[in-house]
Amino acid sequence: GAVVSQHPSWVICKSGTSVKIECRSLDFQATTMFWYRQFPKQSLMLMATSNEGSKATYEQGVEKDKFLINHASLTLSTLTVTSAHPEDSSFYICSAKKAGAQREQYFGPGTRLTVT
Amino acid sequence: AQSVTQLDSQVPVFEEAPVELRCNYSSSVSVYLFWYVQYPNQGLQLLLKYLSGSTLVKGINGFEAEFNKSQTSFHLRKPSVHISDTAEYFCAVSDPGGSYIPTFGRGTSLIVHP
């Protein structure tokens, strides 16, 4: 199998605080992980690509100082939403590629972030 | 650059009826094609994929899709749907010679009525 988990599954935070979301590959090593954002009834928007041990590559229009991504090991990537505001409320989904198998991604279950 | 068009934002259908969800793509190179399903408040689950070989691809839950290069399509079909198939379906395309990062369509909401 290829299982990806995310924690937490749902988080509510106050405006101005920071929130960290974890993405873990449970049974494989992931050299590359991706973070997506999904608004209600819309498709997935790629935010950034993270490679283990190096800086993340952000898509155009995504604030790297706002969305901090760390890929410290082959099984863990974290997304920190800093100084969150209500407009950051969204569904965040991570995915991972297996080392040596680049043709498809395995998706996590997503994290629903609500900023009040 | 690649793009994916899912022509129908919503497809209502009665239980046990057949269904087809349409997907067209544009790409100047060869492609990999995927269909994912997303249930409410969950991540994406791979239904099926076309990487090479037979153009008719069978996936999980009784779904299948056919790659048609001349029509640049990859429509998803199921001969008899169940209530439990109600979900959002996403078509995606990636470039085998590039980064393999998929481009997703806007999604089609399949609504199965009893």
B98 pLDDT band, cuts 50/70/90, is low
**CA B86, CA B39: separation in Å to the nearest integer?**
8
Residue with the larger pLDDT of the pair A42 and A69: A69
**Stated length of chain A:** 116
Interface size A-B, in CB pairs within 8 Å, comes to 48
Residue of B nearest to A3 (CA): B45
Average pLDDT over residues A48-76: 91
pLDDT score for B95: 81
Q: Write the pLDDT tens digit of every residue in A94-111.
A: 999 887 776 778 999 999
Q: Is the pLDDT of residue A91 over 80?
A: yes
Range of weakest confidence among A98-102, B10-14, B86-90, B100-104: A98-102
Q: Write the pLDDT tens digit of every residue in A9-50.
A: 999 999 999 999 999 999 999 889 999 999 887 888 999 999
- DSSP letter assigned to residue A26: S
In this complex, is the C-beta atom of B101 within 8 Å of any C-beta atom belonging to chain A? yes
**φ/ψ of residue A44, rounded to 5:** -85, 135
Nearest CA distance, B61 vs chain A (angstrom): 17
Q: Write the pLDDT tens digit of every residue in B40-90.
A: 878 889 999 998 889 999 999 999 999 999 999 999 999 999 999 999 999
- Contact check, Cβ <8 Å, B44/A93: yes
Nearest CA distance, A97 vs chain B (angstrom): 10
Radius of gyration of chain A (CA): 13
Average pLDDT over residues B96-106: 81
**CA B32, CA B102: separation in Å to the nearest integer?**
9
Exposure class string for B32-67: b at 16+ Cβ within 10 A, else e: bbbbbbbeeebbbbbbbbbeeeeeebebeeebbbeb
Residue among B102, B93, B77, B114 nearest B27 (CA): B93
Query: Choosing among B42, B45, B48, which should be mutated to test the A contact, i.e. which has the most A CBs within 10 A?
Result: B42
Share of chain B above pLDDT 90, in %: 73
Q: What is the mean pLDDT of chain B?
A: 92
Instruction: Give B-chain residues touching A103 at CB under 8 angstroms.
Output: 32, 51, 94, 96, 100
In this complex, is the C-beta atom of B40 within 8 Å of any C-beta atom belonging to chain A? no
**CA B76, CA B63: separation in Å to the nearest integer?**
7
Instruction: Give A-chain residues touching B51 at CB under 8 angstroms.
Output: 103
Q: Is the pLDDT of residue B18 over 80?
A: yes
pLDDT score for A55: 87
pLDDT score for A105: 86
**φ/ψ of residue A89, rounded to 5:** -60, 130
pLDDT score for A102: 67
